[in-house]
Amino acid sequence: MEKEIKNVEYGLEKIFDGAQDFLPLLGTDYVEFYVGNAKQSAHYYKTAFGYQSYAYAGLETGLKDRVSYVLKQDKIRLVLTTSLVSNSPISEHVKKHGDGVKVIALWVEDARKSYEETIKRGAKSFMEPVVEKDEHGEVVRAGIYTYGETVHMFVERKNYNGTFLPGFKEWKSDYNPAAVGLKFIDHMVGNVDWDQMNATVKWYEDVMGFVNFLSFDDKQITTEYSALMSKVMSNGNGRIKFPINEPAKGKKKSQIEEYIDFYEGAGVQHLALATDDIIKTVAELKARGVEFLPPPPQAYYDEIPNRLGTHMSIMKEDISKLQELSILVDADEDGYLLQIFTKPVEDRPTLFYEIIQRMGAKGFGAGNFKALFESIEREQEKRGTL
């Protein structure tokens, strides 16, 4: 059963009676990557993706064993962390997985309660509640493991008015490339191993009180060569959406299997970042060297008026412009959406980004899955991993 509510900021209108409210989530707080060289990663995300310098912690602020750069663009906060010593959980993580997402931090009203409630429901602890303080107040954080070695950190910051977190100082840089119009994280996708999707879905239902509101089986997400299955999990207010993918058997290797092989386990596959003007954002990203998947064939663009049906009348974008930038279009009963996918942003074919502009549509571009996966397969072919 679904109840209608309006959430203008996130473009969401539904909450689910099935979702329990023991874990009210206010939004995504930050996403932390463990990387081999945070200084250079920070430069890349500023230059290529238009993030702004925001906060810093390292040797200069009293840390001895690690350094973190925090970047910001509108509501999106990325933390890039590198170990300064060989023997640390951060170094081990990078050694095994390469650069990747370690923490998906969730903004909550009460971090202790969030931790207790999820542990009570079976979560594995990553970090017991810790109170961090400085002259700007205090933050309470606590963390639990989700799929693979990935962590959900609960962040309570209602008594804090400093930059980011206690222990961080404001990062002022002389190098400040302009933002590219990225607004907030629309969804974050996890890849899990063979036969693990349903267990992961059940974990989100039981431990986090999420609901599974969309499912795609291997008949829907398939090409001539490969397939995958996906289920989309959402929290009660719809602000947090986590699709979960699992590989499926095909004639050749699924892109999810390729990910699992190279990441050496389950992990975050892509972050979808929302923009209000995808044409402007993507043109800017391309000019700054971000590499996107190659465009689908001409026939894909010829079919857009058919696929959009009545939504064509509200479509503002010029199809030839979308084609020029390789942007994909999909529609559902509520409207349409525009999306595009980058190539992996690191050497291992693991993490990539999606740029998305929703014009009413609430789906994830199911109508584009075939074209998208065929593009990915052409890239896998080049890597010899198909």
Residues forming the site for Fe ion (CB under 5 A):
272, 354
Least Å from the CB of residue 92 to Fe ion = 29
Q: How far is the CB of 356 from Fe ion (least distance, A)?
A: 7
Residue 358 pairs with which residues in a beta bridge?
337
Between 272 and 274, CB nearer to Fe ion: 272
Nearest approach, Cβ of residue 24 and Fe ion (Å): 24
What single-letter amino acid sits at 173? S
* Beta strands at 227-234 and 241-248: parallel, antiparallel or unpaired: antiparallel
Residue by residue, DSSP assigns 196-264 as: -HHHHHHHHHHHH--EEEEEE-TTTSB-SS-EEEEEEEE-TTS--EEEEEEEE--SS--HHHHHHHHHT
Q: How far apart are CA 84 and CA 39, in angstroms?
A: 12
Q: Which is nearer to Fe ion, 258 or 354 (CB)?
A: 354
Instruction: Give 109 or 217: the residue with its C-beta nearer to Fe ion.
Output: 217
Tell the smallest beta-carbon distance from residue 186 to Fe ion (Å): 8
In the complex, the smallest distance separating the C-beta of residue 11 from Fe ion, rounded to whole angstroms, is 15
Q: Which is nearer to Fe ion, 38 or 337 (CB)?
A: 337
Whole-number minimum distance, CB 45 to Fe ion, in Å? 19
Kindly state the DSSP code that residue 314 receives in the 8-state scheme: G
The two structure tokens encoding residue 315: 């479509």
Tokens coding 285: 């990203």
Minimum distance from residue 187 beta carbon to Fe ion (Å): 6
What are the distances in angstroms from CA 382 to CA 36, 271, 363, 375, 379? Answer: 25, 24, 30, 11, 5
User: What's the rounded Cα separation, in Å, for the pair 110 and 140?
Assistant: 8
Please give the angle made by the CA atoms of 374, 377 and 383, to the nearest 5 degrees: 160
Nearer to Fe ion, 79 or 272 (CB): 272
Residue nearer to Fe ion on the CB measure, 132 or 218: 218
Choose between 149 and 330: whose C-beta lies nearer to Fe ion.
330
Pairing of strands 25-34, 76-83: parallel
